[in-house]
Amino acid sequence: MKMKKLTGQFRSTTWDPFLIICQMISLQCIMYFGLGMWICMVDMIAGAPRSLDHLFKYQEIHIHDLDGELIIAAFVLNALTSALGLWFVVQRTKQCLDFSATMHLFHLLVCWCYNGRLPTSLLWWMLNLACLTITCVCSEFLCMRTELQAIPLSLGPKADL
């Protein structure tokens, strides 16, 4: 039996594509579950019928009436929800930008497929860029706070490993 040598690093830097794929699927599920919940609450407030169009159709994002403004608010609140999910699933400050960008890239691809064409609304692009920024910055803040916590040192007897 081969024993693994301790390298003295806090985390392993081994390439693990299965872990990354699982984390990405988890984050995408958290993002869409959160967005669905926020849109559902927004639709109840506005008295609008629930529809997948509110999640994926770029024409629904507008500032002409309360419905569009509430959908924008739901996307922004979901950016905070996604940041919490990223902090919980990934827990690495260095990977927050990568996972945030990938989540929003997948959202772009889903919207593109749903609409049959690339979104052309400037407000849609600005909103998604703002949500990407909010998700990335907030998740980096949370991960950094976790990574910088003091490591408790025990003054008791040392365990012999």
Of 40, 146, 10, which is closest to residue 83 (Cα–Cα)? 146
pLDDT, position 135:
97
pLDDT, position 50:
86
Rounded to an integer, the average pLDDT of 126-132 is 97
Rounded to an integer, the average pLDDT of 21-27 is 95
Instruction: Annotate 70-104 with DSSP letters as a single string.
Output: HHHHHHHHHHHHHHHHHHHHT--GGGHHHHHHHHH
Q: Which value, in Å, is the radius of gyration of the alpha carbons in the chain?
A: 20
Rounded to an integer, the average pLDDT of 109-120 is 94
Residue type, 100: S
pLDDT, position 134:
97
79 near 101, Cβ under 8 Å?
A: no
pLDDT, position 74:
96
Q: What is the pLDDT of residues 81-101, one digit of tens each?
A: 999 999 999 989 999 999 999
pLDDT, position 6:
46
Rounded to an integer, the average pLDDT of 92-118 is 95
Please say if the pLDDT value at position 8 is more than 70: no
Higher pLDDT, 114 or 6: 114
Mean pLDDT of the chain: 88
pLDDT, position 45:
87
